[in-house]
Each structure stands twice: as C-alpha cells, then as structure tokens.
Amino acid sequence: MREITVGDLMTRAVITAIRETSIREIVAIQAARPGEAVPVIDASGRPVGMVSEADVLTKLEFHGGWDMPPLLRGAAARARWRKSAATTAGEVMTAPATCIAPDAGLTAAVRALATASVPGLCVIDPMSRLIGTVSRLDMLRPFLRDDVDLKTEVEQEIVGRGRAQDTICVEVADGIVTLDGALLLRSSADHACWRARCVPGVVAVDNHLRFQVDDLMITGL
C-alpha cells in the first residue's frame, strides 16, 4: 500500500518572507492566503521560522507590548507578550522552523505537527532549501475524496488478496466503508479491515466480515 506523501499534498507556490519583512507585509500575505503560515527564509533559501496568524495576533492581545508582562499567566503567555512588540518577521516568527522532506509519509507529517505544535511544516530539498509548505488543511484534503474513488481503492487493496473462497463486498458512503462477506480465516478478515482503514480519506470502517476459522485463537496471537 502506497502512503500519501508530503510531496503529494504540499503547497508549492509559497510566498516567503525574510527576517526584515515588516509586520504589515506579513499581514498582507496572510490576508491573501488565509490560514497559511508564512515561511521566513535566510539568504540561502533555508527556512528559519514561520509566522502564523496567532503570532501576529499577539500585538493586539498585548497592545504592541505596552501591557504589563503577564508574570502570573504562565510561560506561553509571557512568550506571546515578548512577541507583541515585534516590528519584523524575524522578531515575531515561531522558530526554528519545523522541516520535513517531500518523500515523508502523511503519518509522519501529522505526528510532526502534533509534536511540535506549529502551524505548518516547511518542506525542504536535500540542501535544506524551502520547496513548499504543508498545513493541517493540506493534510485533511484526503477526506474530501469522492466515495467512488475510495471504493475503488479499497477494493484494490483487499478484494482478491485472500483465498479463492473468500468474498468481500465494499460499500462507501460519506467516507465510511462498509465491509460485508465471508472469509475462511479470522486473520484475513482482520487484515482486510486494517487495510481498508489505512486508505487515505477513509473516515471509518463498519466491519461485517464473517469467518469460518478463528486462526488467531488457535495460534494464541
């Protein structure tokens, strides 16, 4: 099964900033591309940080740094306050940039975003130069796949891979896959369900597959 890669989903036409880019220019870029963080690059084209809408909103939260430091509100609030006095991208950006290769799988990209708590990932070439970005919205795009396309791929992944006497019927509605049929082994039924769940864009699997022999119980697995 081929996993969707970062290169399949990334945005290639990226508007970048440098450290000296003004806050007003950053907001203009964000207004033109809502929801996308702006990568900040160095002179070699390597990403050094990203500016999200949340980064710039700190200027409104703390009135451009004129409010008193939020000493009792935790480290995150104090970090936002320090950004609020920024006038350039280099001062307001979230750094360092979290980077990923275009051939990385979608699962790895989602984990990187979740672990780093960043607005997006910078996609880089072997020289660490920026070639694109991938956002949370980009990663959710597989869930917009047509049900017919999903059914076709699920069938390619599971139908005909078992024994001759195995029969599987696949139906898809709103991204939810329903599996029905009869197989010889429980392990085959479980594996078919797993493969269906792994197809990008599948929301859930309603498994009605039946089996004759519980080979997992026999082997103690």
Give the pLDDT confidence of 153-197 residue by residue, as tens digits: 999 999 877 666 689 999 999 999 999 999 999 999 999 999 999
pTM of the model: 0.81
pLDDT of residue 1: 66
* Residue 221 DSSP symbol: -
Question: Helix or strand or coil: residue 75?
Answer: helix
Q: Fold for domain 145-215?
A: Histidine-containing Protein; Chain: A; (3.30.1340)
Q: Count Cβ atoms below 10 Å from residue 31 Cβ, excluding itself.
A: 9
CA angle 149/150/155 to nearest 5° reads 100
User: Taking the domain 6-141, which CATH number applies?
Assistant: 3.10.580.10
Domain boundaries of the chain, sorted by first residue: 6-141, 145-215
pLDDT of residue 219: 57
Report strand pairing: 167-173 vs 176-185.
Answer: antiparallel
41: left (phi over 0), alpha (psi -120 to 50) or beta: beta
Better pLDDT: 129 or 112: 129
